Each structure stands twice: as structure tokens, then as C-alpha cells.
């Protein structure tokens, strides 16, 4: 492995040696502003996140619920561009030395150019990409360029994925596997449910890649629950909601730092 995919793998491995799950946070670039978004990413790292996914705001975010859609809309109305996403990755990584991925739908990359996108992401110090809507069977060009630039390709699996399909997806992916804990869109929920544990078990049967669970985790109790069976706990909407609910940008940044601390303690809780 080369580039920051190694940093990503080392980070997940270190959490494993500490007998805990990694905490992975999600925040969209450009929200509430480009500078504010960068400070928010730094804050969640300071609070205890191991890895951050920077969202590339999209006008039709099919996997995202109303909270992230609202943040994406704010970022897009603010004029966020792919260059701002790259700047967010660069500044957050350089300030912390920690792995930063981009989570994006395929259309913006396709329009921007795969080679250009992967080269710029690698140059910014990015660890890779999570691509929730790119079918594995159509991913060869992306994977070729990602591999050339030392970037991880993280695919999403769902409870509906059959075992044969899981094997195909995990064979093509790298870095880790993103296990969606339930069918539906992102958002905070009362319970993460047994489906997630079953999906992690089935996914691990097909691959040695770490399996990280997202969709629905919003507090330390849920993080602790998921940490008992997953290699990583992914939290997005809860961070975004803290920013949306804050009185101003500074309060929002303080709030996401605090939430990261709570969740970091959650993933370290011995069950």
C-alpha cells in the first residue's frame, strides 16, 4: 500500500490493538462555510475522532436524510466547489496528521474527471473515497486511478446484500467496508438494531477488510453497542445536527468537538 491508504489502515489497526472500534465522523465540506467546515473537521479530530469523512455536497443525495440534505443545501447555496472539498481535506489532514476521506456520489467525479479527481485528492493528502452509488461492476476505471494514486475505495454494503454480492463488493474494495446498518437514508435513530451485527458477521466472512458501521448512530450508548461487533463506528447526522442547532458557528464547532469526545468514550467503553 502507498499514500494515505496506509495511514487509514494503520489507524484502524491501532484501534483494534487498543481493543476498541475506531470512531469515524462525517461532515460535509462548505458547511456552514468553507472555513467553518474546515474548523469543524479539526474540532472532531481534537474531540477524539480517528478518521473523518468529508462529504462532497450534492444536489440529489439519495443516501442522505433531511439533516445532511439541509447542510448540503447550505453548502451549495454558499457556492462550495470541488476545490473547496480538496482544500478541506488538505487543511484538516495537515493540521492533524490523521486520515481524511471524501464521501461522494459518482456524478460529480464523473463530470470532474476521474484522473483529475484522484490526482488532486492524493495531492491533498486524502486517504480515499467512499462511493455509495457506484456499482462495483462499473468501478474499474475509478479503481485503476485510485490504486495508482494510493487511495482507498470504500464501497457500501447493506442488510439486503446477499452473501455472493458481499463477496464481489469486498473483493473490489480497499481500506474498509462501509456497512449500512439498515435500509433507508442517513439520520439518527432510537436503535441501530440486530441487522447491523448480522451484516458485519456476513461481511467479515467474505473479507479481511475492517467493517465499519454507519447510519443511525447518534450517541455514546449506541456507539458503545456498535463497537462491540464492528471495527469502526460511523457518525454523521448527529454531528451535522449539532452544527445546525447551534446559535452560531463557534458554538457549532464547540458542540461537535464535545460530541466527538462523548462518542470516543463510547467506543472505548468495555461492554
For 228-241, write each residue's pLDDT tens digit: 999 999 999 999 99
d(CA 67, CA 260): 18
Average pLDDT of the segment spanning 58-64: 70
Q: Which of 53, 84, 225, 231 is catalytic?
A: 53
C-alpha grid cell for residue 268?
Answer: 472505548
- Which distant-in-sequence residues (6+ apart) come within 8 Å of 163 by Cβ? 202, 205, 206
pLDDT at 61: 60
Nearest to 260 by CA among 230, 231, 217: 217
Domain 4-267 = CATH 3.20.20.70:
yes
Q: Which of 13, 46, 50, 64 is catalytic?
A: 64
Whether 185 has a pLDDT exceeding 70, the answer reads no
Task: Specify the range with the lowest mean pLDDT, choosing from 69-73, 141-145, 176-180.
Answer: 69-73
Single pTM value for the model: 0.94
Residues in the chain: 271
More confident residue, 81 or 217: 81
Average pLDDT of the segment spanning 98-116: 97
pLDDT at 269: 76
Average pLDDT of the segment spanning 44-66: 88
Mean pLDDT of the chain: 92
φ/ψ of 264, rounded to 5, equals: -60, -40
Whether 165 has a pLDDT exceeding 70, the answer reads yes
Active site residue 115: no
pLDDT at 183: 44
Q: Are 175 and 8 in contact (CB under 8 A)?
A: yes
Average pLDDT of the segment spanning 14-33: 97
d(CA 38, CA 15): 24
- pLDDT per residue as tens digits for the range 113-124: 999 999 999 999
- Residue 2 is given by DSSP the state -
Active site residue 53: yes
**Cell 468529508 belongs to which residue?**
54
pLDDT at 35: 98
Amino acid at each position: 500500500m502507498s499514500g494515505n491508504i496506509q495511514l487509514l489502515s494503520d489507524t484502524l489497526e491501532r484501534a483494534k490493538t487498543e481493543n476498541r472500534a475506531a470512531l469515524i465522523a462525517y461532515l460535509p465540506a462548505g458547511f456552514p462555510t468553507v472555513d467553518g467546515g474546515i474548523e469543524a473537521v479539526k474540532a472532531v479530530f481534537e474531540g477524539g475522532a480517528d478518521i473523518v469523512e468529508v462529504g462532497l455536497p450534492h444536489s440529489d443525495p439519495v443516501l442522505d436524510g433531511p439533516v445532511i440534505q439541509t447542510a448540503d443545501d447550505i453548502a451549495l447555496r454558499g457556492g462550495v466547489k470541488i476545490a473547496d472539498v480538496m482544500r478541506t481535506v488538505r487543511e484538516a489532514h495537515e493540521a492533524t496528521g490523521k486520515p481524511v476521506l471524501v464521501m461522494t456520489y459518482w456524478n460529480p467525479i464523473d463530470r470532474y474527471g476521474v484522473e483529475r479527481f484522484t490526482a488532486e485528492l492524493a495531492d491533498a493528502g486524502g486517504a480515499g473515497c467512499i462511493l455509495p452509488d457506484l456499482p462495483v461492476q462499473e468501478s474499474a476505471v475509478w479503481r485503476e486511478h485510485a490504486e495508482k494514486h494510493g487511495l482507498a475505495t470504500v464501497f457500501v454494503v447493506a442488510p439486503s446484500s446477499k452473501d455472493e454480492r458481499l463477496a464481489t463488493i469486498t473483493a473490489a474494495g480497499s481500506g474498509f467496508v462501509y456497512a449500512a446498518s439498515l435500509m433507508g437514508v442517513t439520520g439518527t435513530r432510537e436503535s441501530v438494531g440486530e441487522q447491523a451485527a448480522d451484516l458485519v458477521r456476513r461481511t467479515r466472512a467474505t473479507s479481511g477488510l475492517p467493517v465499519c458501521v454507519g447510519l443511525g448512530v447518534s450517541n455514546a450508548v449506541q456507539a458503545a453497542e456498535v463497537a462491540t461487533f464492528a471495527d469502526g463506528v460511523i457518525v454523521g447526522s448527529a454531528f451535522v445536527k449539532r452544527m445546525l442547532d447551534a446559535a452560531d458557528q463557534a458554538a457549532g464547532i464547540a458542540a461537535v468537538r464535545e460530541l466527538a469526545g462523548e462518542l470516543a468514550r463510547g467506543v472505548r467503553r468495555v461492554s
